[in-house]
Amino acid sequence: MTVVIDAGHGGRDPGNLGTGRYPTVEKDITLAVALKTAAYIEERIPGVRVIMTRTGDTYPDLPERVRIANDNQADLLMSIHCDSFSKSSAKGSSSFVMGLAKSEASLRVAQKENAVLFENGGKEALGFDPDDPDTFIALALKQEIYLERSLQFANLIQTQFRERVGRNDRGVRQADYYVTAYANMPSVLVELGFLTNPDEEDFLRSEKGQDYMSSALFRAFRDYADHWFNLESAIQKAPPTQDEEGEENGAGNAEEDAPGASAPLPAPPWFSDIKNDCTETVCFAVQAASSKKGGTLEVQGHDIPFVTTEVVRGVHKYRVGSTHSYEDACHMRDTLRKNGFADAFVVAFKDGNRIPLEKALEQKRN
């Protein structure tokens, strides 16, 4: 299963500015929650492929975000945003799926999120005109094939927000978003809460609030994935702690060493994509495979470079590379996945000891 997580806005597009009391704006909060959600999924359900539309303060435009999801043939798109309103009393979390906007609130939110399209004549270039109902009628009809799954995922999100995090539930709505309209898969746009409400802004800026919201998104995703993709066995194997990781993930080849083995095999041609240069306290690596046999890590006649092996409860775990950059680690993970290690996932270390990925990301930001 492949899920694309889209942190709304970024780079030159800050999103909404909230109450103006803090330098933190929408793009910062959406990225923090998106990274935490991705970390939860990668650590606890390693069989799921997670793709981020951005991992830093960059600005992929809306067509690029959709292209990333479509080109990777994603099974689900989750776009994360924060709401705003002229009245500071507005509060609550909501989730949107593609459909013809039927309420004033849906129209307002759709106009806000689509507005960046129309800079520099984007409307004409993209053929996407929110003032033309025919555009959305056609798109809404196309999205009908994904509507059931989109609605189910959106409802799971709202249930988690309401029952596990105690947020005001503004419900599931339909709205005319570009990012969901052109996605060839079930897709949901999430509004975490109102940054124009001081209490909600404080909560969403806090580490606790971001942990709670990302955990809720993870739990909703886990339930959705298990229902549609039968991931129960993978979820049961996934680790609640760093010492209780799953058993073999089946990725790559960890062959048993034999006495008198031949000389080491050459490094693979994509060797240059693997970094091994972290000298900082917190470092990221990629777990490429695990095996009960032990031995060296190889694929397609090549030895993999920069491999560290540790044995946990009789299982040999193979980590590749070392970098201080989470973005570089994600690139290394994607490189390994493309070259024989489909279940590779990012792991984090502090002073050589394994720590939860979300904690490493938190420390890097601080």
Indicate the helix (H) or strand (E) that contains 254: strand 253-255
**Distance (Å, rounded) from C-alpha 299 to C-alpha 262?**
16
Q: Each residue of 158-171: pLDDT tens digit? A: 999 998 899 999 99
Q: Which of 42-56, 82-96, 230-244 has the lowest mean pLDDT?
A: 230-244
Give the model's pLDDT for residue 165: 92
Residue 122 has pLDDT above 70, yes or no: no
DSSP structure class, residue 276: B
Do residues 270 and 357 share a domain? yes
Between 330 and 74, the higher pLDDT residue: 74
H and E: helices and strands count for the chain = 11, 14
Between 313 and 17, the higher pLDDT residue: 17
pLDDT-derived band at 88 (thresholds 50, 70, 90) equals very high
Q: What's the token pair of residue 2?
A: 């492949």
3-state secondary structure at position 307? strand
Between 279 and 132, the higher pLDDT residue: 279
Do residues 67 and 141 share a domain? yes
From 222, 178, 186, select the one nearest 81 (Cα to Cα).
178
* Amino acid residing at 262: S
Indicate the helix (H) or strand (E) that contains 191: strand 187-194
Domain end marker among 234, 257, 282: 234
DSSP structure class, residue 13: B
Give the model's pLDDT for residue 283: 92
Q: Which of 34-48, 189-203, 231-245 has the lowest mean pLDDT?
A: 231-245
Q: What's the token pair of residue 284?
A: 């990221």
Q: Each residue of 27-46: pLDDT tens digit? A: 999 999 999 999 999 888 87
Residue 11, φ and ψ in degrees, nearest 5 = 60, -125
Give the model's pLDDT for residue 210: 94
Between 21 and 227, the higher pLDDT residue: 21
Do residues 179 and 321 share a domain? no
pLDDT-derived band at 147 (thresholds 50, 70, 90) equals confident
Q: Please give the share of the chain, as a percent, with pLDDT higher than 70.
A: 73
Give the model's pLDDT for residue 214: 94
User: How many CA atoms lie within 13 Å of 158's alpha carbon, on the beta-carbon side?
Assistant: 20
Taking the mean position of all CA atoms in its chain, how far away is CA 270?
A: 25
pLDDT-derived band at 85 (thresholds 50, 70, 90) equals very high
List helix spans (H) across 98-231: 104-114, 122-126, 133-163, 178-181, 198-205, 207-229
192 within 8 A of 29, measured Cβ to Cβ: yes
Residue 309 has pLDDT above 90, yes or no: no
Do residues 152 and 281 share a domain? no
Do residues 213 and 328 share a domain? no
Domain end marker among 171, 199, 234: 234
From 59, 64, 63, 82, select the one nearest 11 (Cα to Cα).
59
Do residues 230 and 247 share a domain? no
pTM value surpassing 0.75: no
Rounded to an integer, the average pLDDT of 119-131 is: 50
Between 144 and 111, the higher pLDDT residue: 144
Do residues 264 and 300 share a domain? yes
Rounding to the nearest 10 degrees, give the CA dihedral for residues 205, 172, 40, 339: -120
Indicate the helix (H) or strand (E) that contains 222: helix 207-229
Q: What is the CATH number of the domain that holds 148?
A: 3.40.630.40
Between 263 and 216, the higher pLDDT residue: 216
Between 203 and 290, the higher pLDDT residue: 203
**Distance (Å, rounded) from C-alpha 164 to C-alpha 258?**
52
Residue 362 has pLDDT above 90, yes or no: no
Do residues 281 and 305 share a domain? yes
Rounded to the nearest integer, the mean pLDDT of the chain is: 79
Residue 117 has pLDDT above 60, yes or no: no
Give the model's pLDDT for residue 89: 96
Give the range of the structural domain holding residue 326, as residue numbers without chain letter: 243-365
Residue 125 has pLDDT above 60, yes or no: no
Between 161 and 332, the higher pLDDT residue: 161
Residues 6 or more apart whose Cβ sits within 8 Å of residue 204:
29, 33, 82, 192, 193, 195, 210, 213
Do residues 206 and 257 share a domain? no
Residue 306 has pLDDT above 60, yes or no: yes
Residue 267 has pLDDT above 80, yes or no: no
Do residues 191 and 251 share a domain? no
**Distance (Å, rounded) from C-alpha 330 to C-alpha 326?**
6
Do residues 265 and 153 share a domain? no
Rounded to an integer, the average pLDDT of 320-348 is: 84
Domain end marker among 234, 253, 276: 234
* Total domains in the fold of the chain: 2
Q: What's the token pair of residue 123?
A: 């409307």
pLDDT-derived band at 138 (thresholds 50, 70, 90) equals low
**Distance (Å, rounded) from C-alpha 285 to C-alpha 169?**
38
117 within 8 A of 128, measured Cβ to Cβ: yes
Residues 6 or more apart whose Cβ sits within 8 Å of residue 314:
292
Do residues 266 and 335 share a domain? yes
Q: Which residues pair with 81 in a beta bridge?
A: 191
